[in-house]
Amino acid sequence: MRYISTRGSAPDLDFTDAMLAGLARDGGLYVPESWPVMRAGDMSALAGLDYAEVALRVTQPFIGDSINKETYGDIVAETYKKFTHAAVAPMKELEPDLWLMELFHGPTLAFKDYAMQLLGNLFNHALTTRGQRVTIIGATSGDTGSAAIDAMQGRDAIDIFVLYPNGRVSEVQRRQMTCIDAPNVHAIAIDGTFDDCQALLKAMFNDTKFRDDISMSGVNSINWARILGQLVYYFVAGAALGAPDRKLAFSVPTGNFGNIYAGYVARAMGLPIEKLVLATNANDIMSHLINTGVMTLGDVHPSLAPSMDIQVASNFERFLFDLLDRNGSRVAQQMAKFTDTGELALDEKGWAEAKSVFTGFRLDDAGVLDEIRATYAATGELLDPHSAIAVAGARSKRKDGTLSMDIPVVSLATAHPAKFPDAVEKATGITPPLPPHMADLYERVERFQVLPADLGGVQEFVRQTLKGTKA
């Protein structure tokens, strides 16, 4: 399997090189040169398998000859050992054919663990095998940073820097990043929004001298291996609900478009997904795109679902690549126009194709609280704000006929309610406790640096920190 850039002018790479590179040299994102297809018999055979075995069968085609099959099997088996539920991603039926898939049983209580634990093990294998060292720099709206830090802390061949928007993540999210006592971990609070953090990250990747000087790599969902790790639970849900003989749908809380894009990949591989509900908070640039065909950049508004407080969704470029018939130069033109004007319009063909896969849904903070309250009253389940948006989206699209009532709909619960206790308490009067392994989180010492959203200043901090760690 070879990987190509969405902008068409970077060299194609194998899986390991694409993973270590993160972002392509031309500013594009790596995607497989073609989609592997799962035959119906292979898909049926997933039923009853444990999570790790499904993961191995689904993801192996994307690895190709880059990693020995036996070695990759060991990596996958190791990946899920820190998850606290035997099923890894258990499902609960909230009402007939409306399911909740709990993606918060990893070490940092968010869906990012499912991909990041795999990525950490893949990085460790690649760097150990090659005798290399890298500097990972990531940007987070909350959950990516903590998951990345957990996966990378203490690794001898890795230094990791995580940029997060100062004051715009929950206290639990912040402490999961700042309370790690590991010499290779560096948390940076940026005075700005997540989009500012993401812009800094992309600028550092595009500064080839800086990138090469520090051996920079990335773990944001711009890294293809992140998409690979998120792909698995779509097939796990499908196998549990009768695929390939039965269609299903998913409702996905959406910020940076990585998680829902993994659903798109699963669909491209043959999983019979009737529709993907693209569920957003008030920062609705992506649901607006699906509903109108136009993506218009606006201001980021803080919300009860801060991991979705995003305007520029990086992974949309991967989907756009397919919409534009995999023409890298057209993608580069469109993305340059969006950068210059703040607007990107799909043509009629592209918009029709997007609507055939996705349906957009928006929920403001008042609606989030209502959904948390209603779901708890009806089922006894506590939802975090992001998961509440997914459940509300599923219910809304079933009610208005967008989703067939005779197919199961799986809402992805992307974070443990204890990560957002204030919102849950406001809606229900209940403060969800942290699980035992994190019970002392509020008592731990924080370690972080506050910096302005200035590229030169962040780069200098990284350089000086690396000098200090290597001294």
Instruction: Name the residues annotated as catalytic.
Output: 112
Rounded CA separation 342/311 (Å): 10
Residues 261, 226 contacting (CB under 8 angstroms): no
- The three-class DSSP label of residue 14 is coil
- The three-class DSSP label of residue 461 is helix
Please choose, from the candidates 145, 125, 129, 147, the residue with its C-alpha nearest in 3D space to the C-alpha of residue 137.
145
**Sign of torsion, CA 106 108 112 113?**
negative
State the DSSP H helix or E strand holding residue 365, giving kind and residue range, or none if neither.
Answer: helix 365-379
197 CB-near residues (< 8 Å, 6+ apart): 139, 140, 141, 163, 164, 165, 190, 453
Rounded CA separation 271/249 (Å): 10
102 CB-near residues (< 8 Å, 6+ apart): 85, 89, 90, 91, 92, 413
DSSP 378-402: HH-----HHHHHHHHHHHHHHHTTS
**Distance separating the N- and C-terminal Cα atoms of the chain:** 40
Rounded CA separation 220/63 (Å): 19
- β-strands 409-413, 248-253 pairing: parallel
Rounded CA separation 251/275 (Å): 9
Rounded CA separation 435/195 (Å): 31
Rounded CA separation 157/159 (Å): 7
SS (H, E, C) 46-96: CCCCCHHHHHHHHHHHHHCCCCCHHHHHHHHHHHCCCCCCCCCCCEEEEEC
327 CB-near residues (< 8 Å, 6+ apart): 8
